Structures are given as structure tokens and as C-alpha cells.
Structure 1
């Protein structure tokens, strides 16, 4: 860090690379202690590295580096633990193919018209509508939807799952009406 201040970018890159390896062990251990899956380790490590890089001018070069680094790590891990716990309450882990097949899964043999679909979607909150339209109607992936809507991929998956739950609950209450309309339409 001191060499970075004197303009030695090679030393700074080496420092960040070595620090990242060290952080992976620390973050994985701390996430495990919070009872969380260590799959998020790399994301948290990257958040820590970004925080260190953007706040490097706040470190006092006359003081030891490790307490300053450890404080950043501690706060970033706590923030990540809070976020991950919140996300995990509504999280459903499915493969990309499974997510893509959910809207097409017609368990009741009822075919909905575009008008029925639009009416059902309009009952959803705006964020869930956007996600449901992108993934369910347009068929784009969760990662593409996240990029388009400026959301995290996990948040997109949660929103899509919640939207599907609401849509299925609403649609199942209307199945009898929809079946009758479909039969009437077929007989015409």
C-alpha cells in the first residue's frame, strides 16, 4: 500500500492479488460461522477489494495496515450476511432450464389468452411484472434480466419465483372460469 502511494502499480497489483488469496480463506470462514453457504465467498472478496481500492486514500500510512483491512472485511462480511439471509428467505435454487420451463408448464391443460396473461401480470407489483415479462414471456435468462433491470441475479430469481407463485395462485382461483371460456371458444 505504501508503494502504491509512491506510484508503484506493479507492487499494488501484487498486493491485491496476495490479499485476495488471503481474503478468500477469511471470508469463507466467516460466512461459515454465520451459517451461510460459502458459494458467495468470491462475491464478498470482490466487494472487499473494491472497498479497499476506493478507500485506500483513507488509510493512514503511519498506522498498521491490518487493523484497517480487518475492519473493512468485518463490515463487508456482516453486510453480505444480512443481505444473504434476507435473500435466502425467498430463494429457490433451480437450474436455468428449470426456471425457463416454469411458465410453460401447463399442469391444468388450460390455455390462457394474451389478454388473460396481461390481466394476471397487471395484478403483480411493478418489479415482479418486469421480471415475469422478461423471463416468462420474452424468455431471457435471469442474468440478462438482471443486467436489463439493474438488479442482482439472485434478486431477479426471487422476484420471478414470487411472481410465479402469485400468478399460479390467482390463475388457479380462476381456472374454472378460464376452462369454461376456453370450451366456449372451442365450440364457436
Structure 2
């Protein structure tokens, strides 16, 4: 789907294999170290150099985003953001929106043209899927008019049901703007 000057898409897949994207976003932990889920997959694929580069940047707070090189990933950069733990980090909606907004800001500062996002905070951090999708889509739609460099945003979802839900909400919210 094209929104203004930016292509926005939803794709089922593995965030660690996003060929052709300038950056992938890591749903990181505060210490920016390997873990489970997205962080574990990205660190395994990137190799040990990613953890070494991340160490001096940690800890980060919920909503914050930092950028590193991609190491052995097919992407030149990784943008690491700490999503809120649902029911613990408040205000959860504002913190989750800050993850997407600040990640796009790091991409803009680095003059990147494409960014792939996972569904931040929806795994082990327990954020309910539909509200998380609405925050993600709303934040990206609001950011698009101010993007000078980013021209392609991809949401990478691990299963078809999640992808379909993202696509439905993206279409609904894009038509309503």
C-alpha cells in the first residue's frame, strides 16, 4: 500500500532474513543482549559482533531506540528499541508508540530508505495484539508526512493470522485518515 510517498506493507516472515531492507528493528531487552524471540533471532543471525557493539549502548528505557550496524545480517543496520511490558510499564500505549516513532527517527537520522518492524511487545512482553497493531499503524501513519528519507516500511509478522490482522487494520486506518 502506498501512503503519500511511502510504501507500507505487511509480510509473513523472519525479521532476521529481510533482504533489501536498510534496517531491521530489534524488539530488544533493556541490556540489548541476546534473548528469546526477535532479539534472540537477530543476535543469532548477526553473530557475536552485534552483542559487542550493543554492550556500551545499554541499558535503554522503554520507548528508546538506538542504532547499530547489522554485522552478519543481510541489513546494514539494526535499530534496537525496548517495548513496554504490558501491565508493568506505563503509560503502555505512549511507550509503544515511542518505540515506532524513535525507530523511524533513528532511520531518518541515518538517511535510511527502508525499515522492517516486528510486532513490538506482542510476544513475551504480553501486549494484546489488536491494541498493539493499532498503536503501531497509527504511529507510522502519523510519522509518514515528516519522513524525508524513509520510503519503505515493512511490518514482518511471524504467522499468516497476524499478517492478515495487520493488513486489515492498516487498510482500515489508512482509509480513515
Does TM-score exceed 0.5, indicating one fold? no
- Output the TM-score relative to the length of structure 2: 0.23
- Output the TM-score relative to the length of structure 1: 0.22
Structure number with the bigger relative contact order (C-alpha 8 A, sep ≥ 6) is 2
Query: Comparing both structures, which one devotes a greater share of its residues to strand?
Result: 2
* Structure showing greater Rg: 1
